[in-house]
Amino acid sequence: MKKDLLGIDDLDRNGIEEILQEVNGKSSSVLSGKILASCFFEPSTRTRLSFETAMLRLGGKVIGFSEANSTSFQKGESLHDTMRIIGDFADIIVIRHPQEGSAKIAAEATKTPVINGGDGANEHPTQTLIDLFTIKQLQGTVDGLTIALVGDLKYGRTVHSLVKALSLYSVNLCFVSPKALGLPSSLQQLLRERNVGYSFYEKIEEVIDRTDILYMTRLQKERLQGERIEQDFGLKTEMLSLAKPHLKILHPLPRLSEIPPEIDKTPFAAYFTQAKNGVAVRMALLAKYCFR
């Protein structure tokens, strides 16, 4: 097993399944004496607090920061130096940073395991483990499903990691997005190499009747590079009249207007279950990487 989890490719399908099988959410003291450094250079609610909760539930302790400006980054210190020092203080590090490749810089600066909690528009592998765990919990399987990924497929890092992971399964993928926010060509190439069926759409109505998992995402406003997006790619309650009864809607959250709150009380809504699963999945992950 690799020292770090920087991209979901750091795990093969067996590695992913092994972690998912170990998820049980039971509090214990297995990480007593261990310290998690929680290094968030970018805003976060779920990722940071679920990692910290997971560490505390396993008997470990947490140090860290939730704002880059409270660190020596403000004085001009390099990410490398900051992470090298923190690596000497902690037993495991989770980092979120706006720059693509930042988690890799951190991992190279220290012998301590580094978990990527999101590096710019690149990857968010631990969200993918939560997504897969939730899909299996709700549908009993990943293989054989038709999964529609909707929204900002260009800059959405949760989509990038999830598509890489899904390419290891036998799935049919439908990508629904405004043209300017389509799936990066490198990921399309990966899907072709791995013989995964995929197709493109601009409207949810075109795919809703055959979808098993509808994976919604928000527009990554903070990462746009001049694209002007006027098209509304949101889900509307009426569209669900065409859905299969077992359809489940996931969203890494935060949601903006792409899922109206009235959908929350339908049996299709599974995004709050998904968010709740974050703690249990990250408990399994922390235990694994602290004792790798």
Q: Rule CB under 6 A: which residues touch ligand NCD?
A: 46-47, 118, 124, 127, 157-158, 217-218, 252-253
Answer left, alpha or beta for residue 253, where phi above 0 means left and psi between -120 and 50 means alpha: left
- Residue 75 is among the residues annotated as catalytic for this protein: yes
CA angle 123, 204, 250 (to 5 degrees): 45
Rounded distance between C-alpha atoms, residue 252 and residue 275, angstroms:
7
Least distance between ligand NCD and beta carbon 161 (Å): 9
Q: Which of 34, 57, 124, 251 is catalytic?
A: 124
Rounded distance between C-alpha atoms, residue 155 and residue 223, angstroms:
7
Least distance between ligand NCD and beta carbon 222 (Å): 9
Least distance between ligand NCD and beta carbon 275 (Å): 7
Least distance between ligand NCD and beta carbon 76 (Å): 26
- Residue closer to ligand NCD by CB (options 34, 258) is 258
Rounded distance between C-alpha atoms, residue 15 and residue 262, angstroms:
38
Answer left, alpha or beta for residue 118, where phi above 0 means left and psi between -120 and 50 means alpha: left
DSSP label of 184? P
Q: What are phi and psi of 104, to 5 degrees?
A: -70, -40
- Residue 124 is among the residues annotated as catalytic for this protein: yes
- Residue 210 is among the residues annotated as catalytic for this protein: no
Measure Cα distances from 7 to 115, 162, 164 in Å.
Answer: 9, 10, 9
* Whether 172 contacts 143, CB under 8 Å: no
- Residue 111 is among the residues annotated as catalytic for this protein: no
Partners of 96 in the β-ladder? 40
Rounded distance between C-alpha atoms, residue 105 and residue 160, angstroms:
20
Least distance between ligand NCD and beta carbon 158 (Å): 5
- Residue closer to ligand NCD by CB (options 38, 47) is 47
Q: Which of 47, 128, 134, 158 is catalytic?
A: 47
- Residue 46 is among the residues annotated as catalytic for this protein: yes
- Residue closer to ligand NCD by CB (options 16, 121) is 121
- Residue closer to ligand NCD by CB (options 98, 182) is 98
Strand order in the sheet with 248-250: 197-201, 172-176, 146-150, 213-216, 248-250
Q: Which residue is nearest to ligand NCD (CB)?
A: 252
Q: Which of 96, 97, 218, 251 is catalytic?
A: 96
- Residue closer to ligand NCD by CB (options 110, 217) is 217
- Residue closer to ligand NCD by CB (options 249, 253) is 253
Q: Which residues are catalytic?
A: 46-47, 75, 96, 124
